[in-house]
Structure 1
Amino acid sequence: MKRWINSLQDNYGTPSIELVSGKGSYVKDAQGKLYLDFLAGIATNVLGHGHPAIVKAVTKQVSTLGHVSNFYAHPNVLQLAEKLQKFTGDKSARVFFCNSGAEANEAALKLSRRTGRTSVVATKESFHGRTMGALSLTGQPSKRNPFKPLLRGISHVTFGDSRAMKRKINKRTAMVIVEPIMGEAGVIVPPANYLQDVRRYCDENGALLVFDCVQTGMGRTGDWFGYEYSGVKPDVITLAKGLGGGLPLGAMIALGPASHLFKAGDHGSTFGGNPIATAAALAVISAIEKEKILIHVNEVSSYLFAELALVPGVTEVRGAGLLIGLTLDQGCAKELVKKSQELGLLINAPSESIIRIAPALNISLRDAKKFVTIFTAALAQVRHG
């Protein structure tokens, strides 16, 4: 990777492989080696690589209308906003489009300032992005500390601890931001009534409740956003990753009174909601609906949860849909990622004892079985040398 070292900044470190092509749930490196992709661009390529619907939609759009800026409307942005509004089940919902999850969370943070309040409550170990506002929300000291001072007035409490959340929210709180399931922290599912409790505390104090659905959204958990299991309706939803099916696209959706907080000129994004990215998003949604992928997600998920729980060395399987975290009985997760790559499998280790998998939502049961076989072999080799 000499060319990488000589031309790119070192913020990612040096990648171990160079990928040159992909089809479905497989990618190929520069040496021609195939890998089963069980990370999907970190929960982004929800239809895998080279899905015909996305290829067709993007090709048609780029030859028709490429970029218009937000001085003008175009059909795709209107249709996509209406689709997302429908998925919320609330006609009051209004959408702001941007390019990433960090930008969506920055927009939510900025929106909360329109309440006249400035205090924010987030959770420890959360991940909301790396731009300065989103980083201020992120509850991971290793990512935050080198860039202090960050925004003031942001407190972090333990995820899943309702009492801690209740103590921190007050009449000065502008917003509370939580992930329905924590992704970057290792796929952590909160207690059953946690989101309901947070909703109640926000209502009692007039604070906005923001659900960061960047990683859980767009069918990843078997639902459109990932918070539906709670029965709670937030004031703000942030989306990205799977929304564009591999193209950069994010969204901040505000509901109810929050949908009217932004006024003309308050916020913007040059590329947000551009014709090409929104064409891809519409193709993603159409494919999910036509191919009944949400049902498929739950079927494959049931298989993986059952099979992975039986793998020697796995002590816990958690998550929802195809966002799954595996806790190992040894601190060998990083080594397991390397061994899996050697055996033709791409996975991720958020920490030394946790593996995260997030394959394409249309992954076949056959490839899910192949994953279990390779993963089991890789873990056995790592545990026993």
Structure 2
Amino acid sequence: MGRLYTRRHQFPLRVVKPRAEPCDSLAFAERCSRLPLEIVGFIIVETAKLQYGKRNVAPFCLISKASLPGVRRELYRSVSMSYRYWDVDSREELLEEDFQGLVMNDAAFLRTLKEAPHLGALVRGLTLDLQFYEYLLPEEGTDEIRSSVQTIFGACANISQLEVRTTGDGCPTDYIAETIAELETTPPLEELDITCFGTEIDGLLGRLPKLRNLHLRAHFKLWAMGHRFPSPPPFPFSLQELKYDIESPGVFQAIMHNSHSTLRTLNTTSSLFLDKEVRTALPSFNALKALDVKMYITDHKHSKRTAFAISSLPSLQTLSVHSSPGPSGAPLVDLLIPRLPSSLQTLDLAHIPVDSTSINRFIDRDHATPLPNLRLVRIDSEGWASRKATQKAEKERVQRELALERCEIAGLEVEVGRRY
């Protein structure tokens, strides 16, 4: 019986690359949630660079989609809405039937809230940027913005920070404050920054028991008219930080009704200290650690009252005084230095002419400072040295150097530099 032969086929060897494991979006998202937002953004940007020109965006889409759960909370944490009118040459142009001047950038956000209402719970901060003039704000535009604000606050129940910016001579924040105050459920605001046009703000402040930081400023129209707001009933919140730029001691008293023992930072103007009731209340601000005071030209003649008011604060640690250019600040400084509270650690004098004589008041004959906790004094060069090269200026320069040496011996640091 003959042998049976078989023919064997030879095939060339091929190197087969192992298939890459598919991207595990859930695992990547979990890892992304532990990274800082800046790092996640860097990863997405670098991935986009790698895929550029390859017409293969799948890896980029996978990484971006997987990153979203980890960064969504940060993406929606702070939202900014802008409402404004396009520039027009005249009121007649605005009233033309085919002119649609109102520009609102909230359409996409409102659509998102409608399609994915759960995202509204992630919003913590809201900025409303209102840019238009009074004659460019017809009633229908006001209604549109009011409706938009109602929708946003209705969907974003956890907003704790609100800033209302305004440009021009219109009065838009009035109805913004009214709209929020009329909501069935008031948002749990802890921080509010708003321009005040009238008493409409009282209704909103009266419904914010959780408010901790408040920046309240008057519109320039009210400054020009010298408007003073009537005294409202006490507000329910206890503040930790207050920036108060309106001339109304009555509103200040209502704001501070429950904040005497909680307020830690106050930024205001010296005009506030001209009121006797305010000055009487200052010694009870036992938690106040930082005070920033702006002095205007008309306030310099009241330097004595300002100095006595500041000296009555029992726990003050940081004091900053800003003065308008023009009148000499020496009267205030000379009145203030002997009366500074012993708790003071840092004194910042900006744009106030301070000479060597005033600085020497910090040091006694034994080269020691009468303020045991004072360690730093900042002085702006504009107010420290004379620009004129005169014999008097040279003498002051020498005296200044001696004053600095005395401060150094006493352990007191003096910083001299240009602030602006």
- When normalised by structure 1's length, the TM-score is 0.23
The structure whose Rg is larger is 2
Higher relative contact order (CA 8 A, sep 6+): 1
- When normalised by structure 2's length, the TM-score is 0.21
